């Protein structure tokens, strides 16, 4: 966006990209096809969407749609939508499923490609010696057979012996058992998310069917595809694939056969690294198999891919899709879902936005407002501001309904609604203005928070009881109160007033550079330089991660550990290395009862006990950052975007009263500071004092409102 510095009575004018944003920045709701659409009905609906300030739609078949999904009648109706959208200049996002979750092709996948449906892992336990012929699950593929001594924890790989003979010799005296692990057909007929060939079958039924008929619209009117809520919990967390062992050996260099028992029980052995190894590979297979395969198809057909996993806000994502940051490694636009109640997904916004930073993506989407009956205008603005401040920059409202008398999930966010119809034009203009800035430039933060996925994997076991209510699996994996990374994130953001990035341990150990007290991600867009890295509570970590942190501290960086220090390695036989690295870094092996600092030349390492997050704020208050308030103020958060010739700071006040802030900008391009009001589009000058290359100023942010502070120019073309 190009700022035009025309001064009129102290007012800095800005061209139409902020006052009247380009259509590409406008929110694009989901459109549920309730009832039976007609051509005239489609025309009226899309014209209404255009008039109220939407920039496009994502079309979803509702359960009561009176047209068979993917039938020729369905495609004829879809043609009406595309024709009218093209005429109006609206964009269409290709939603890939009938209803949700994605992966069934409306039931066609299981019908036409039964071999492509999801698989799950099951364990069969027998006492040794065996008596009679052992049970073999129908269609099951043996992944591992382990002779296990429950008294000593000893394990012996007997897979080859059992496959060859159908039995196992008694290894010796004691309480030996035979544990067999089979990959069997899964539940609910969804695609095998871990298998690219299975996902290609799904693509052939859905994406390819649309491209075959509407190729001329791809890359123009159809600019993206959307998937919805893939998850492992429908398989009770045990989603698996027959190619797992082959892929594991390829990536790790050894067989996983002896690791399988740790997935189902605490064996008293090296469970932590075994689970971390197995689940990290499964997370890789998901990221490559489902979103990665669809992304490759989208790239080849001129569109981008967006979508979200399910239950993003759970503390331990093991059992959902294993890893909420790695899930988006190969996807153009990471996404999240905010439904049911205001604030439900708030603690996860930074996780998904951090996926964009880690893997160098420019956009982060949120499907929001669904199933929130009684949602108020004040709540809509509060939700949107929270999303924007935490890194979301594309909003997908849930939803507009074709038949506004047949609405499954309120609210019905169209011009026809007596309440929302009045407030949506101004709200959509607000969303568009904020998006027009935040979708450009690069995110800047100097605080990194290590995403503790290795420790979370190490705590996760498959529940053996398949008769439990689905909510037992819906809640993700087990976690400890010391697994405090989300608490740390919320404290950092709205109490200590510091933006941050969750850093994935995989990302920490490649394409990084450590110099002058900073750890730098060598991305093409988000090349952030972190002066502080926080090691949140976890008991398992990679020795490589600790080695990076040790080098970072020796070069002048600051490391802060909270709540729990690691004891176990996510690699076999390296627990002693972790213990030594922790002691050398922090000067202690156990978390002390009071904050403790160990100096490393210009760098320092802190250990802060559980429940003492205020100490984190005290430490950070002594360090220089890009935007500094003169004091910590609850409810104030911000996101910083950098441009070739300027900086933009989006400030949010979540308090019920106005807040007067005294701020200092350390990263400034000089010249006038500008205040930009996303509610009205107004732009004005901020009086600032310049000293030692910094700009200091005072600013009042009204209750539950937000604004932009701009230094220099924020000129960049839309992506």
The per-residue pLDDT for range 586-599, each reduced to its tens digit, is 999 999 999 999 99
237, pLDDT greater than 90: yes
Q: How many CB atoms lie within 10 A of CB 180?
A: 24
Q: Which fold has domain 28-106+193-238+299-441?
A: TIM Barrel (3.20.20)
Tokens linked to 428? 């959509």
Mean pLDDT, residues 154-181: 94
Q: Provide Rg for the chain, Cα atoms.
A: 27
Q: Three-class SS of residue 18?
A: helix
Assess whether the previous peptide bond of 399 is cis (omega < 30° from 0). Answer: yes
Strand, helix or coil at 400?
Answer: strand
Q: What are phi and psi of 619, to 5 degrees?
A: -65, -45
In this predicted model, which residue has the larger pLDDT, 470 or 542?
A: 542
pLDDT greater than 50 at residue 2: no
* 435 vs 713: which has the higher pLDDT: 435
Residue 317: is its pLDDT beyond 70? yes
What's the pLDDT score for residue 700?
Answer: 96
- Whether the per-residue pLDDT at 713 is higher than 80: the answer is yes
For residue 469, the model assigns a pLDDT of 78
Comparison of pLDDT for 540 and 467, the residue scoring more = 540
State in Å, rounded, how far the first CA of the chain is from the last one.
11
Residue 8: pLDDT over 60: no
Identical fold at 28-106+193-238+299-441 and 447-620?
no
Query: Residue 718: which pLDDT band, with cuts at 50, 70 and 90?
Result: low
Tell whether the model's pLDDT for residue 4 goes beyond 60: no
Q: For residue 573, what are the contacts with CB-CB under 8 A and spacing of at least 6?
A: 270
Average confidence (pLDDT) over 279-295? 98
pLDDT single digits (tens) 633-671:
999 999 999 998 889 999 999 999 999 999 999 877 777
The CATH classification of domain 627-712, taken from the options 2.60.40.1180, 3.40.50.11540, 3.20.20.10, 3.40.50.2300: 2.60.40.1180
Which of 81-90, 388-397, 613-622 bottoms out in mean pLDDT, i.e. has the lowest?
613-622
Q: Which of 63, 281, 94, 286 is nearest to 191 (CA)?
A: 286
- In this predicted structure, the answer to whether residue 312 has a pLDDT above a threshold of 80 is yes
pLDDT at position 14: 41
Is the pLDDT reported for residue 52 higher than 60? yes
Report the pLDDT value the prediction gives residue 286, as an integer from 0 to 100: 98
Predicted confidence (pLDDT) at residue 9 exceeds the cutoff of 60? no
- Model confidence pLDDT, tens digit, residues 377-432: 999 999 999 999 999 999 999 999 999 999 999 999 999 999 999 999 999 999 99
- 7 confidence band (pLDDT: 50, 70, 90): very low
Alpha-carbon gap, residue 563 to 565, rounded angstroms = 7
* pLDDT score recorded for residue 416: 97
| Residue 16: per-residue pLDDT | 53
Using pLDDT thresholds of 50, 70 and 90, give the confidence band for residue 717.
low
d(CA 398, CA 372): 9
Residue 11 has pLDDT above 50, yes or no: no
Judging by DSSP bridges, how do beta strands 659-665 and 694-701 pair with one another? antiparallel
**Residue 463: what pLDDT?**
77
Res 719: pLDDT: 58
Among 309, 321, 246, 252, which residue's Cα sits nearest to residue 282? 321
pLDDT exceeds cutoff 90 at 227: yes
pLDDT of residue 356: 97
pLDDT at 188 over 60: yes
Q: 17 CB contacts (<8 Å, ≥6 apart)?
A: 1, 2, 436
Q: Which among 509, 520, 508 has a CA at the least distance from the CA of 557?
A: 520
Residue 3 has pLDDT above 50, yes or no: no
Mean pLDDT of 77-89: 98
704 vs 671, residue with greater confidence: 704
pLDDT band (50, 70, 90) for residue 1: very low
Does position 5 have pLDDT exceeding 90, yes or no? no
Contact 560, 532 (CB under 8 A): yes
DSSP 130: P
Q: Kindly tell me if the per-residue pLDDT of 19 is higher than 60.
A: yes
Are the CB atoms for 588 and 607 separated by under 8 Å?
A: yes
Can you state the angle between helices 271-289 and 291-300, rounded to 10 degrees? 20
The dihedral sign for the CA sequence 278, 283, 289, 290: positive
C-beta of residue 358 within 8 angstroms of C-beta of residue 504: yes
What is the pLDDT averaged over residues 123-140? 93
Q: Say how many C-beta atoms besides its own lie within 10 A of residue 687's C-beta.
A: 10
What are the distances in angstroms from CA 458 to CA 273, 277, 485, 581? 6, 9, 16, 19
Q: Is the pTM of this model over 0.85?
A: yes
d(CA 556, CA 369): 44
Tell me if 719 sits within 8 A of 1, measured CB to CB.
no
User: Is the four-CA dihedral 417, 419, 425, 431 of positive or negative sign?
Assistant: negative
When pLDDT is cut at 50, 70 and 90, the band that residue 15 belongs to is very low
707: pLDDT confidence band, cut at 50, 70 and 90? very high
In this predicted structure, what is the pLDDT of residue 440?
A: 92
CATH fold, domain 447-620, is Rossmann fold (3.40.50)
- Kindly state the percentage of the chain with pLDDT values over 70: 97
E runs forming strands in 347-441: 365-370, 394-397, 400-401
Report domain extents, the chain.
28-106+193-238+299-441, 119-185+239-289, 447-620, 627-712
pLDDT in the model for residue 668? 76
Predicted local confidence at residue 6, as pLDDT: 32
Question: Can you read off the two tokens belonging to residue 110?
Answer: 């299981």
**pLDDT at residue 297 tops 50:** yes
DSSP β-ladder status, 683-686 and 442-444 = unpaired
Report d(CA 123, CA 69) in Å as an integer: 38
Token digits for 543? 């020795």
Average pLDDT over residues 42-58: 98
Dihedral in degrees, nearest 10, Cα atoms 440, 442, 445, 451 = 100
Asked if residue 504 has pLDDT above 50, the reply is: yes
Work out the mean pLDDT of the chain and round it to a whole number: 93
Q: Which long-range contacts (CB under 8 A, 24 or more apart) does 244-253 make?
A: 244/143, 244/183, 244/194, 244/281, 244/282, 244/285, 245/143, 245/144, 247/281, 247/284, 247/285, 248/277, 248/278, 248/281, 251/281, 251/284, 252/277, 252/281
Q: How confident is the model at residue 90 (pLDDT cuts 50, 70, 90)?
A: very high
Query: Residue 698 pLDDT more than 60?
Result: yes
Q: State the pLDDT at residue 626.
A: 86
Under the banding of pLDDT at 50, 70 and 90, the label for residue 63 is confident
Query: 689 forms bridges with which residues in the sheet?
Result: 696
Helix spans in 134-183 (H): 159-165
Mean pLDDT throughout 490-514? 95
Percent with pLDDT over 90 in the chain: 86
Q: Pick the residue with more confidence: 430 or 18?
A: 430
């Amino acid at each position: 966006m190009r700022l035009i510095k025309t001064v009129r009575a102290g007012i800095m004018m800005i061209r139409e990209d902020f006052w009247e944003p380009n259509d590409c920045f406008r929110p694009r709701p989901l459109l549920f096809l309730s009832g039976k659409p007609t051509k005239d009905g489609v025309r009226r609906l899309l014209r209404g969407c255009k008039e109220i300030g939407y920039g496009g739609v994502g079309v979803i078949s509702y359960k009561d749609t009176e047209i068979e999904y993917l039938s020729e009648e369905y495609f004829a109706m879809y043609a009406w939508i595309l024709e009218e959208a093209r005429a109006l200049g609206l964009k269409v996002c290709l939603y890939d499923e009938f209803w949700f979750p994605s992966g069934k092709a409306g039931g066609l996948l299981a019908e036409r490609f039964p071999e492509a449906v999801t698989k799950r892992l099951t364990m069969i336990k027998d006492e040794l010696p065996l008596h009679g012929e052992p049970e073999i699950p129908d269609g099951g593929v043996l992944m591992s057979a382990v002779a296990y001594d429950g008294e000593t924890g000893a394990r012996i790989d007997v897979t080859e012996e059992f496959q060859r003979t159908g039995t196992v010799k008694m290894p010796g005296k004691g309480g030996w058992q035979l544990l067999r692990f089979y990959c069997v057909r899964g539940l609910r007929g969804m695609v095998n998310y871990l298998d690219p060939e299975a996902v290609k079958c799904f693509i052939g039924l859905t994406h390819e069917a649309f491209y075959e008929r509407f190729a001329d619209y791809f890359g123009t009117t159809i600019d993206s595809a959307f998937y919805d809520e893939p998850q492992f919990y429908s398989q009770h967390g045990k989603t698996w694939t027959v190619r797992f062992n082959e892929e594991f050996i390829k990536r790790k260099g050894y067989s996983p056969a002896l690791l399988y028992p740790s997935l189902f029980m605490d064996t008293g052995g090296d469970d932590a690294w075994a689970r971390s190894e197995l689940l990290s590979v499964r997370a890789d297979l998901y990221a490559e198999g489902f979103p990665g395969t669809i992304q490759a198809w989208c790239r080849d057909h001129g569109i981008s891919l967006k979508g979200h996993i399910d239950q993003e806000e759970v503390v331990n994502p093991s059992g959902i899709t294993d890893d909420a940051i790695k899930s988006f490694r190969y996807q153009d636009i990471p996404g999240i879902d905010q439904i049911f109640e205001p604030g439900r997904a708030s603690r996860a916004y930074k996780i998904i936005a951090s996926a964009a930073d880690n893997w160098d993506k420019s956009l982060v989407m949120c499907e929001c407002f669904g199933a929130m009956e009684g949602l108020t205008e004040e709540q809509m603005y509060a939700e949107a501001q929270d999303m924007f401040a935490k890194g979301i920059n594309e909003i997908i409202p849930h939803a507009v309904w074709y038949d506004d008398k047949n609405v499954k999930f309120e609210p019905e966010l169209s011009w026809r609604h007596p309440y929302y119809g009045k407030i949506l034009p101004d709200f959509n203009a607000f969303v568009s203005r904020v998006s027009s800035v935040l979708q450009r430039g690069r995110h800047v933060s100097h605080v990194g928070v290590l995403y503790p996925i290795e420790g979370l994997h190490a705590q996760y076991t498959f529940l053996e009881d398949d008769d439990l209510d689905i909510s037992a699996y819906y809640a993700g994996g087990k976690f400890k109160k010391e697994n405090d990374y989300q608490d740390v994130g919320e404290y950092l953001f709205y109490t200590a007033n510091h933006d941050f990035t969750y850093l994935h341990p995989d990302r920490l150990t490649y394409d990084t550079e450590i110099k002058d007290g900073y750890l730098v991600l060598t991305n093409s867009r988000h090349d952030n330089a972190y002066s502080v890295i926080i090691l949140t509570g976890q008991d398992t970590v990679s020795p490589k991660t600790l080695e990076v942190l040790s080098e970072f501290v020796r070069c002048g960086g600051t490391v802060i550990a909270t709540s729990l220090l690691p004891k176990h390695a996510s690699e076999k036989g390296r627990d002693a290395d972790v213990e030594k690295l922790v002691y050398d870094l922090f000067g202690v092996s156990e978390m002390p009862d009071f904050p403790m600092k160990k100096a490393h030349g210009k760098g320092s390492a802190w250990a802060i006990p559980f429940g003492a997050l205020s100490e984190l704020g005290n430490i950070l208050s002594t360090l220089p950052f890009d935007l500094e308030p003169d004091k910590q103020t609850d409810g104030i958060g911000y996101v910083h975007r950098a441009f070739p010739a300027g900086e933009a700071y989006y400030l949010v006040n979540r308090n019920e009263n106005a807040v007067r802030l005294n701020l200092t900008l350390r990263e400034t391009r000089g010249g006038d500071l500008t205040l930009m009001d996303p509610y009205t589009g107004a732009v004005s000058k901020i009086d600032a004092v310049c000293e030692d290359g910094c700009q200091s100023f005072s600013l009042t942010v009204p209750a539950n409102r937000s604004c932009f502070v701009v230094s220099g120019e924020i000129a960049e073309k839309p992506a």
